[in-house]
């Protein structure tokens, strides 16, 4: 392992990737920015007759503002602080953020409030079924609006080649889709097994149990699930694990 760990990050190629790269540098790592997601807006607008409107990402907050959607008397819910901050920056009031920043955490927070209520979920085309099924089971009338689609950028793959060559010390996966796109890229380059072998020798950190399950199902050994569903916490804990491994190796 190199003295300065190389850590792959798969955020969309916008300010999120810039912030993630800067954070990893501040933590003493050598980031490998490799966007595995790109956003294609649908132009869809959330319903205006809902009692609750749920947003699950910063991207959704920005796109819904671009459509001109205006909230009224509904309760606006954000799945986590980053989404809440983005909504406020766009001029929306945020009424509810769950203590656990996941779909299951949001379901747990809303479960006793939404029986008979209309709940609008505004998000990407790759949202977890946990939110839909959980709120439906709680008695809500659930409607989903797809604000954007998540696709794999054509230029992705730098980190895949590095993993296959054994040149990655760690990888930070932020969603199931980043895992799937990483392996799809590897398969297209005919280096899937080599990339998997490279990840086995690296530290793999993920956000959330669903991402961990996807990675495990696809043959990737997960070393840590971030204690909080934010990239900041994932980065800190991944770098800490890599540093710990380096210290242990040197004893």
Q: Provide the whole-model pTM.
A: 0.75
Whether the Cβ atoms of residue 122 and residue 147 lie closer than 8 Å to each other: yes
Give the span between the Cα atoms of 78 and 210, in whole angstroms. Answer: 19
Average pLDDT over residues 105-109: 94
pLDDT given at position 128? 82
What percent of the chain has pLDDT above 90? 80
Task: Please tell me the predicted confidence (pLDDT) of residue 251.
Answer: 32
Taking the alpha carbons of 146, 217, 35, 97 in that order, is the dihedral positive or negative?
positive
Average pLDDT of the residues of the chain: 92
Q: Judge whether residue 206 has pLDDT over 90.
A: yes
**How confident is residue 1, by pLDDT bands cut at 50, 70 and 90?**
very low
In the prediction, which pLDDT does 245 show? 63
Encode pLDDT of 91-103 as tens digits: 999 999 999 888 8
> Please, what's the b/e burial string for 181-215 (b: 16 or more CB within 10 A of its CB; e: otherwise)?
bbbbbbeeeebbebbbebbeebbbbbbbebbbebb
Asked if the model's pLDDT at residue 178 lies above 60, the reply is yes
pLDDT at 71: 79
> Does 2 score more than 90 pLDDT?
no
Asked whether residue 250 carries a pLDDT value surpassing 60, the answer given is no
Architecture per CATH, 6-37+157-246: 3-Layer(aba) Sandwich (3.40)
* Mean pLDDT in residue range 201-228: 94
Q: Is the pLDDT of residue 44 over 90?
A: yes
What band does 14 get if pLDDT is binned at 50, 70 and 90? confident
Report the distance separating Cα 122 and Cα 58, nearest Å. Answer: 11
Q: Locate CATH 3.40.50.10090 in the chain.
A: 6-37+157-246, 42-150
Per-residue pLDDT tens for 233-245?
999 999 999 976 6
First to last CA, the chain: 14
Task: Give the model's pLDDT for residue 247.
Answer: 46
Asked whether residue 131 carries a pLDDT value surpassing 60, the answer given is: yes
Confidence category of residue 41, pLDDT binned at 50, 70, 90: very high
Stated as kind and residue range, the H or E segment containing 66 is helix 58-66
Q: What is the mean pLDDT of residues 168-196?
A: 96
Options 3.40.50.10090, 3.40.50.10240, 3.20.20.70, 3.40.50.2000; CATH for 42-150 is 3.40.50.10090
User: What pLDDT does 208 receive?
Assistant: 86
């Amino acid at each position: 392992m190199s003295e300065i760990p190389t850590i792959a990050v798969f955020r969309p190629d916008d300010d999120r990737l810039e912030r993630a790269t800067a954070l990893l540098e501040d933590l003493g790592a050598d980031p490998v920015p490799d966007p595995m997601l790109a956003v294609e807006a649908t132009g869809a607008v959330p319903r205006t007759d809902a009692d609750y409107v749920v947003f699950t990402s910063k991207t959704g907050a920005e796109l819904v503002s671009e459509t001109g959607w205006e909230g009224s008397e509904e309760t606006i819910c954000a799945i986590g602080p980053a989404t809440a901050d983005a909504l406020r920056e766009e001029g929306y009031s945020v009424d509810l953020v769950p203590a656990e920043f996941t779909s299951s955490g949001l379901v747990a927070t809303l479960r006793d409030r939404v029986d008979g209520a209309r709940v609008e979920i505004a998000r990407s085309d790759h949202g977890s079924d946990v939110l839909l099924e959980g709120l439906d089971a709680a008695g809500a009338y659930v409607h989903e609006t797809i604000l954007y689609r998540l696709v794999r950028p054509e230029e992705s793959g730098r980190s895949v080649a590095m993993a296959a060559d054994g040149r990655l010390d760690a990888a930070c996966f932020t969603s199931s889709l980043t895992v799937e796109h990483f392996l799809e890229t590897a398969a297209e380059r005919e280096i899937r097994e080599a990339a998997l072998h490279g990840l086995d020798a690296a530290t793999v950190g993920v956000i959330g149990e669903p991402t961990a399950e996807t990675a495990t199902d696809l043959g990737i050994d997960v070393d840590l699930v971030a204690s909080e569903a934010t990239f900041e916490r994932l980065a800190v804990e991944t770098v800490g694990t890599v540093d710990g491994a380096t210290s242990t190796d040197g004893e």
